[in-house]
Amino acid sequence: MYVYAGPPELLAQVRPGVMGAPIASSADIDGLTPDDEPFTYVVDLEGTLRIAPRRSEHVACAGGRPVLAAGEIAFERVHGEWGVTEVSNQSTGYCPDPASWREVAEALDRAGIARPDGFTATFVFRHCPGCGELNVVKDEDYVCVFCGCGLSGLSGLSGP
């Protein structure tokens, strides 16, 4: 479970009861406009995938609540059924581990939406123990880009 850890002013803009659209089946994607891709998504605490237009903040998509997973997702329609073409764990508000894929896969499987075998883009987030800034770790380079401190390389599944 991931609790929102981004800027407080974004959390303050969340309106009660306004969340991303729940996706329980392929048909739930029909009414969404392709221009909104890739969508912002969260998997809520009930395990439901919720998506919102890409400019939406994850914390707004989640109604301000903790999530099981968060990131960006894109769909493509093949033979009348929607499938996932791209999906990542990119959310600097929630900083989900690569291991959150399991929750994304379960939510998509329950909705009957075809998916890849894992994130098509995986991000590793680390708060620097020295300066406190949030780093997005690339190429397993576990060094703070702001101050040069070493970052913990430990992560749920894929750490070195």
In the complex, the residues that contact Zn ion under the rule CB under 5 A are 128, 130-131, 144, 146-147, 149
Q: How far is the CB of 30 from Zn ion (least distance, A)?
A: 45
Q: In terms of CB distance, is 79 or 138 closer to Zn ion?
A: 138
Q: How far is the CB of 147 from Zn ion (least distance, A)?
A: 3
Q: How far is the CB of 136 from Zn ion (least distance, A)?
A: 13
Q: In terms of CB distance, is 13 or 146 closer to Zn ion?
A: 146
Q: In terms of CB distance, is 99 or 146 closer to Zn ion?
A: 146
Q: How far is the CB of 120 from Zn ion (least distance, A)?
A: 29
Q: In terms of CB distance, is 130 or 156 closer to Zn ion?
A: 130
* Beta bridge pairs of residue 40: 52, 72
